[in-house]
């Protein structure tokens, strides 16, 4: 991977030198965050969402975040012929056997219905809360996989874990997914009450992207 060379140097990078990588997602928030962090790292890479290339979603039939991230990255790379990055993320609650886990987005049966997913999580935790006064622990998980080509035998894997507690009612107006139920004791805020900038600094995805960039800088 080549780094951007300053204009003061004799040889200046042109647009044709910019590499293109596919993001195996059409989530606008994820795309913006990847583009921002890659630009800040001075990597000469354009991140393109797979939908822009007409690539359909992969079938996520893995049993872990790592497996699904690799499946999605390989699918996007195979369809595009380009290097690809994929994100698989969700909420794990240890007292529920780490559910909803890889099924976080469709926990209540309908993909992406945040209200129903949150309601189901609260319903399943309700009888457990009556048995203890201790807070219910939870963690957001993000696993990123990057492959140079579809059959890459050495994908780069980066993980981020964001520890917190699960509230018994929503708090905060921002965020998405389970953010309104995810409480951060040290900050005395929920993920849904953080600004986007503050959230990106400490979130599971922010951590994973930072670790991915560290590996890219040492491997290429």
Specify whether 168 is catalytic: no
pTM of this prediction?
Answer: 0.86
19-23 and 84-93 strand pairing: parallel
| pLDDT per residue of the chain (220 residues) written in tens, 0 to 9 | 332 223 333 333 344 567 899 999 877 777 777 777 777 777 788 889 999 999 999 999 999 999 999 999 999 999 999 999 999 999 999 999 999 999 999 999 998 899 999 999 999 999 999 898 899 999 999 999 999 999 999 999 999 999 999 999 999 998 889 999 999 999 999 999 999 889 888 999 889 989 998 998 887 6
What is the domain count for the chain? 1
Residues in the chain: 220
Whether residue 167 is contained in a domain is answered as yes
* Residue-level pLDDT at 2: 30
Which of 88, 133, 168, 198 is the catalytic position? 88
Domain assignment of residue 3, yes or no: no
Residue 95 lies in a domain: yes
Classify residue 129: in a domain, yes or no: yes
**Phi and psi torsions of 50, nearest 5°:** -60, -30
Q: Is residue 9 included in any domain, yes or no?
A: no
* CATH number of the domain residue 49 falls in: 3.90.950.10
Long-range contacts of 176-184 (CB under 8 A, 24+ apart): 176/29, 176/114, 177/91, 177/104, 177/105, 177/114, 177/117, 178/91, 178/104, 178/114, 178/117, 178/118, 178/121, 178/140, 180/118, 181/118, 181/121, 181/122, 182/91, 182/138, 182/140, 183/135
**Residue 20 belongs to some domain of the structure:** yes
Is residue 7 assigned to a domain?
A: no
How confident is the model at residue 12, as a pLDDT?
37
User: Is residue 8, in this structure, part of any structural domain at all?
Assistant: no
Range of the domain at 103: 15-219
User: Residue 33, SS3?
Assistant: helix
Measured CA angle at 61 (ends 57, 64), to 5 deg: 110
């Amino acid at each position: 991977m080549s780094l951007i060379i300053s204009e003061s140097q004799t040889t200046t990078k042109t647009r044709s030198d910019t590499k293109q990588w596919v993001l195996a997602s059409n989530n606008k928030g994820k795309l913006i965050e990847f583009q921002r962090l890659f630009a800040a790292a001075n990597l000469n890479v354009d991140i393109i969402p797979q939908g822009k290339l007409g690539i359909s979603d992969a079938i996520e039939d893995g049993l872990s975040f790592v497996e699904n991230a690799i499946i999605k990255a390989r699918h996007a790379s195979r369809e595009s012929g380009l290097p690809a990055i994929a994100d698989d993320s969700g909420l794990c609650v240890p007292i529920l056997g780490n559910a909803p886990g890889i099924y976080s987005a469709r926990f209540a049966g309908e993909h992406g219905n945040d209200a129903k997913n949150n309601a189901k999580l609260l319903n399943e935790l309700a009888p457990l809360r009556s048995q203890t006064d201790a807070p219910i622990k939870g963690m957001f998980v993000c696993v990123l996989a990057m492959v140079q080509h579809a059959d890459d035998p050495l994908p780069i894997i980066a993980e981020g874990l964001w520890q917190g507690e699960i509230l018994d009612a929503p708090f905060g107006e921002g965020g998405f997914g389970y953010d309104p139920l995810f409480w951060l004791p040290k900050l005395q805020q929920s993920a849904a009450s953080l600004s986007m900038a503050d959230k990106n600094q400490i979130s599971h995805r922010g951590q994973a992207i930072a670790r991915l960039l560290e590996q890219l800088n040492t491997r290429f």
